[in-house]
């Protein structure tokens, strides 16, 4: 019954990519293009940017030139000849240097009164459904997207023209990244000097792009991998893994080059007679598909999840279909908020992959983000119960999403909730807790989550073993032999930890010191034991102690890593005890004094030197009794 109603959707069902790792992503055939399901989901979640190049305005009735064609027209106007092996921006820059009004001539060329928007302009705008969702960025100078928006929606969104760009991570509307013929021609990015100003010297284009690529899923349309513009855009592309990026490209284009740029090509077959007609047809078909079914689907899902389960059989089957499909599942995630729906999704088996070590598919990722966004901070007990039912195991990606919420999500968790989550995540492998630790640790200090603070510091400063090749003297004094040695690594970043400790740690020792000292001394002992097990340390010497000139701050302290934070924090904690709880301080000093770890013994000496009720003679006697002199 339900499947008949949605038979049009079933015809566009996901299918695995051919010739690629099936564990990566699925595709959905629309028109003549296999669209990656991540790309389809981005449109439904209003997370899509269309990035349009010259190819969008080259077909009829626009008939505007490519950047190379534009350069040829300018060359003829200037009475010169452009050699194609010369970068066009360099050639145009030479003309400007000779006093030619290149920018003004380009405005005249592109202001052809017979040029009008193409069906591709309108099809790309149709993808967004309404004018308030439009998010177009273009390196074209013509104003056809503005005219097309009037044709499609009847009014204009916000329009930005370089260099007056919006925030790259928070905008809607049309952005003319390289300027527009409707503003001062001097701001058109045409010459090598213009590109240098936009992407290097002043950097306004680069800054906008980096923020945009980090926040949105981007679809390139109308570019070839050989385009001059792509060489400069590549400078604004952040590393892969932030947000996916795609390009609609001809099947004759260089697929490997696009992937080298971190952009996944979505290929269509270019026809000899009709050129890029299949591109326009596919975009139009996609727009028709998403606009035909999306609003009705979302309205139905919203209606169902506004009340808690149970459901009638038809609604139950319908929601199961929703959660099994890559695009509709985003509607469920957008509107389902109550703990009852969390339990329902779990009982129906849709959350199993959140607790598996296997890579999650796209629907599971949407649901994992849904749980993280809607429940981790708002209904933590419901999520704790969910995790308990799955034997306290977490998929690493799901754990990372939880960590992001702890550091950056809303509302700010209370101290008890924050400490509980930290104690759980610290036991899970690969959750990426260390990537969010600055924000999480700051929240611990802000909310008074002292147990969470101590556990997170323990997690960040516990040593990890990394092997490397090294050299040692052989039996012959003049020869060296190669051996395997060990280096100590830590999950925490030394610079960030130092800043956070100095800004927050020392001021919170009244609440932290008693719990923190055992953790710090334990990790110092662990470091020493690892080094000793690889014959790189002895009770009387280890490289960490050797590199640390003084326990107190000193210009010649050469440990710049997390080891230094361990020592500094232990020193500050011991000094707090000497000022506030002498009995506790003496206990710590005596325990450190009998340790096999040189740094702990040095901390004991530092502490004893500060004890006010012991005379200098007694301090010397204490040293002699320990046999250290």
The mean pLDDT value for 127-145 works out to: 94
- Decide: pTM greater than 0.75: no
φ, ψ at 66 (rounded to 5°): -70, 175
Residue 475: inside a domain: no
Residue 122: inside a domain: yes
Which of 258, 291, 324 is where one domain is finished?
A: 291
pLDDT at 22: 38
- Tell me how far apart the alpha carbons of residues 289 and 291 are, in angstroms, rounded to a whole number: 6
Q: 424 and 350: one domain?
A: yes
**Are 213 and 177 spatial neighbours (Cβ–Cβ below 8 Å)?**
no
The mean pLDDT value for 304-310 works out to: 91
**Are 357 and 391 spatial neighbours (Cβ–Cβ below 8 Å)?**
no
pLDDT confidence bin for 30, thresholds 50/70/90: low
Residue 310: inside a domain: no
pLDDT at 21: 38
Sign of the C-alpha dihedral computed for residues 31, 36, 40 and 43 taken in this order = negative
| Chain segment 604-621, per-residue pLDDT in tens | 999 999 999 999 999 999
Q: 265 and 366: one domain?
A: no
Q: Over 60: is that where the pLDDT of 17 sits? A: no
Identify the three-state secondary structure at position 110: helix
pLDDT at 290: 66
Q: 53 and 186: one domain?
A: yes
pLDDT at 433: 84
Sign of the C-alpha dihedral computed for residues 201, 204, 207 and 210 taken in this order = negative
Q: 286 and 355: one domain?
A: no
Q: Residue 145, Cβ neighbours under 10 Å: how many?
A: 29
Which of 291, 325, 350 is where one domain is finished?
A: 291
For the chain, give the mean pLDDT: 87
The mean pLDDT value for 500-507 works out to: 93
| Chain segment 401-438, per-residue pLDDT in tens | 999 999 989 899 999 999 999 999 998 887 878 888 88
Identify the three-state secondary structure at position 28: strand
pLDDT confidence bin for 276, thresholds 50/70/90: low
Residue 102: inside a domain: yes
| Chain segment 344-354, per-residue pLDDT in tens | 999 999 999 99
pLDDT confidence bin for 40, thresholds 50/70/90: low
Q: 429 and 522: one domain?
A: no
What's the number of domains the chain is made of? 3
Token duo for residue 490: 């830590």
Q: 162 and 271: one domain?
A: yes
| Chain segment 551-586, per-residue pLDDT in tens | 988 877 666 688 999 999 999 999 999 999 999 999
Q: 430 and 525: one domain?
A: no
**Are 400 and 367 spatial neighbours (Cβ–Cβ below 8 Å)?**
no
Q: 501 and 565: one domain?
A: yes
H or E element in which residue 383 lies:
helix 380-389
pLDDT confidence bin for 601, thresholds 50/70/90: very high
Q: What CATH number does residue 90 fall under?
A: 3.40.50.1220
Residue 152: inside a domain: yes
Q: 262 and 147: one domain?
A: yes
The alpha carbon of 310 is separated from its chain's Cα centroid by a whole number of angstroms, namely: 37
- Tell me how far apart the alpha carbons of residues 114 and 109 are, in angstroms, rounded to a whole number: 11
Residue 77: inside a domain: yes
The burial class, CB within 10 Å (0-12 / 13-18 / 19+), for 393 is middle
Q: 434 and 534: one domain?
A: no
**Are 34 and 17 spatial neighbours (Cβ–Cβ below 8 Å)?**
yes
Range of the domain at 512: 494-629
DSSP letter at 309 equals S
DSSP letter at 541 equals B
**Are 566 and 602 spatial neighbours (Cβ–Cβ below 8 Å)?**
no
pLDDT at 315: 84
The burial class, CB within 10 Å (0-12 / 13-18 / 19+), for 313 is exposed
Residue 594: inside a domain: yes
The alpha carbon of 620 is separated from its chain's Cα centroid by a whole number of angstroms, namely: 56
Q: Exposed e or buried b for every residue in 504-533, given b needs 16+ CB within 10 A?
A: bbeebbebbbbbbbebbbebbbebbebbee
Report the share of the chain in percent with pLDDT over 90. 62
pLDDT at 385: 96
- Tell me how far apart the alpha carbons of residues 519 and 527 are, in angstroms, rounded to a whole number: 12
The mean pLDDT value for 62-88 works out to: 93
Which of 448, 473, 505 is where one domain is finished?
A: 448
Q: 444 and 517: one domain?
A: no
Q: 147 and 241: one domain?
A: yes
Residue 485: inside a domain: no
More confident residue, 267 or 151: 151
């Amino acid at each position: 019954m339900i499947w008949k109603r949605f038979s049009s959707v079933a015809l566009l069902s996901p299918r695995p990519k051919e010739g690629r790792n099936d564990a990566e992503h699925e595709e959905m055939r629309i028109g003549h293009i296999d669209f990656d399901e991540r790309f389809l989901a981005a449109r439904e979640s209003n997370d899509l940017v269309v990035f349009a190049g010259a190819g969008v305005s080259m077909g009829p009735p626009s008939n505007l030139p490519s950047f190379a064609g534009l350069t040829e027209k300018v060359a003829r106007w200037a009475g010169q000849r452009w050699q194609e092996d010369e970068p066009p921006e360099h050639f145009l820059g030479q003309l400007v240097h000779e006093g030619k009004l290149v920018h003004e001539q380009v405005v005249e060329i592109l202001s052809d009164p017979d040029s009008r928007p193409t069906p591709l302009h309108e099809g790309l705008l149709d993808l967004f459904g309404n004018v308030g969702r439009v998010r177009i960025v273009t390196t074209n100078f013509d104003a056809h997207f503005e005219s097309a928006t009037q044709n499609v929606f009847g009014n204009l969104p916000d329009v930005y023209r370089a260099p007056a760009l919006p925030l790259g991570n928070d905008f809607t509307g049309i952005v003319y990244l390289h300027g527009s013929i409707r503003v001062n021609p001097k701001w058109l990015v045409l010459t090598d000097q213009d590109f240098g100003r936009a992407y290097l010297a002043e950097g306004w284009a680069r800054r906008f792009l980096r923020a945009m690529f980090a926040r949105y899923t981007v679809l390139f349309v109308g570019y070839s991998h050989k385009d001059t513009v792509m060489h400069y855009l590549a400078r604004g592309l952040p590393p892969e893994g932030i947000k996916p990026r795609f390009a609609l490209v001809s099947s004759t284009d260089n697929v490997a080059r696009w992937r080298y740029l971190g952009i996944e090509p979505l290929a269509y077959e270019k026809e000899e007679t009709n050129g890029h007609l299949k591109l326009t047809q596919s975009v139009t078909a996609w727009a028709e598909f998403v606009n035909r079914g999306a609003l009705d689907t979302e309205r139905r899902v919203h209606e169902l999840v506004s009340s808690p389960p149970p459901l009638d059989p038809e609604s139950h089957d319908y929601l199961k279909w929703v959660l099994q499909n890559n695009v509709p599942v985003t509607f469920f995630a957008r509107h389902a908020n109550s703990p009852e729906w969390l339990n329902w999704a779990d009982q129906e088996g849709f959350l199993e992959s959140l607790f598996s070590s296997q890579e999650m598919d796209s629907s599971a990722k949407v649901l994992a983000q849904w749980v993280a966004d809607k429940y981790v901070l708002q209904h933590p007990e419901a999520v704790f119960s969910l995790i308990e039912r799955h034997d306290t195991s977490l998929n690493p990606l799901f754990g990372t999403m939880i960590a992001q919420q702890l550091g950056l999500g809303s509302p700010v968790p209370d101290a008890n909730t924050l400490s509980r989550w930290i104690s759980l995540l610290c036991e899970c492998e690969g959750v990426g807790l260390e990537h969010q630790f600055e924000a999480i640790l700051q929240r611990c200090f802000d909310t008074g989550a002292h147990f969470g603070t101590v556990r997170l510091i323990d997690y960040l400063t516990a040593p990890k073993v990394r092997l490397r090749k090294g050299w040692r003297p052989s039996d012959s004094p003049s020869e060296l032999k190669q051996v395997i040695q060990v280096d100590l690594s830590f999950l925490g970043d030394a610079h960030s930890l130092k800043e956070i400790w100095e800004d927050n740690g020392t001021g919170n020792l009244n609440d932290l010191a008693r719990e923190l000292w055992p953790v710090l001394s334990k990790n110092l002992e662990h470091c020493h034991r690892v080094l000793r097990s690889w014959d790189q340390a002895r009770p009387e010497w280890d490289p960490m102690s050797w590199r640390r000139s003084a326990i107190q701050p000193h210009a010649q302290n050469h440990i710049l890593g997390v080891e230094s934070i361990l020592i500094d924090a232990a020193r500050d904690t011991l000094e707090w005890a000497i000022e506030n709880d002498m009995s506790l301080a003496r206990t710590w000093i005596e325990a450190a004094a009998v340790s096999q770890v040189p740094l702990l013994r040095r901390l004991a000496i530092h502490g004893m030197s500060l004890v006010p009720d012991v005379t200098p003679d007694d301090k010397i006697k204490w040293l002699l009794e320990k046999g250290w002199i």
